[in-house]
Chain A
Amino acid sequence: MCGIVGLYTKNPDLQSSLGSLLSAMLIQMADRGPDSAGFAIYHDPVGAESIKVTLQGNHDTDWKQIEQQIAEGLDPAVKISPIATHAVVTLSVGGDKAIEWIDSSLKTVRMTGNGRSIEIFKEKGHPREVIETFSLQDMTGTHALGHTRMATESRVTTEHSHPFSTGMDLCLVHNGSLSNHNRLREKLRADGIRFQTDNDSEVAAGYLTWRLKQGATLKESMQAALADLDGFYTFAIGTKNGFAVLRDPIACKPAVLAETEDWVAMSSEYRSIAQLPGNEKARVWEPNPATIYSWERES
Chain B
Amino acid sequence: MKFDLAGQGVRELNRFLHGPDSQGSVVKVDNPSGSHNLAVGALQNCQVTIHGHVGYYCAAMNQHAEITVRGNAGPGLGENMMSGTVRVQGNASQYCGATAHGGLLVVEGNASSRCGISLKGMDIVVGGSIGHMSAFMAQTGRLVVCGDAAESMGDSIYEARIYVRGKVAGLGTDCIEKAMEDEHLNELEELLDRAKLNYSAKEFKRYGSARRLYNFDVDNASLY
Contacts and interface: CB of A to CB of B under 8 A. Distances in A.
Q: Do A and B bind each other?
A: yes
Interface of A: 28, 251-252, 254, 256, 269-274, 280, 284-286, 288-289
25 contacts: A251-B113, A251-B131, A252-B94, A254-B75, A254-B93, A254-B94, A269-B34, A269-B55, A269-B56, A269-B74, A270-B55, A270-B74, A271-B34, A272-B34, A274-B34, A274-B52, A280-B52, A284-B72, A286-B91, A286-B93, A286-B112, A288-B131, A289-B113, A289-B131, A289-B132
Interface residues of B, number: 18
Given A251-B131, A270-B53, 5 more contacts: A254-B94, A269-B74, A270-B55, A286-B91, A289-B113
Interface string B110-154: 001100000000000000000110000000000000000000000
Contacts of A270: 33-34, 53, 55, 72, 74
A271 B53 CA distance: 8
A254 B57 CA distance: 13
Contacts of A256: 93
Contacts of B52: 274, 280
A274 B132 contact: no
A152 to B, nearest CB: 18
A271 B33 contact: yes
Contacts of A286: 91, 93, 112
Given A269-B55, A270-B55, A285 B91 contact: yes
Given A254-B75, A284-B53, A289-B132, A274 B93 contact: no
Given A270-B53, A274-B53, A286-B91, A254 B74 contact: yes
B109 to A, nearest CB: 10
B171 to A, nearest CB: 17
Contacts of A271: 33-35, 55
Given A284-B53, A286-B112, A289-B132, A273 B93 contact: no
A135 B74 CA distance: 31
B46 to A, nearest CB: 25
A31 B99 CA distance: 26
A98 to B, nearest CB: 43
A282 to B, nearest CB: 10
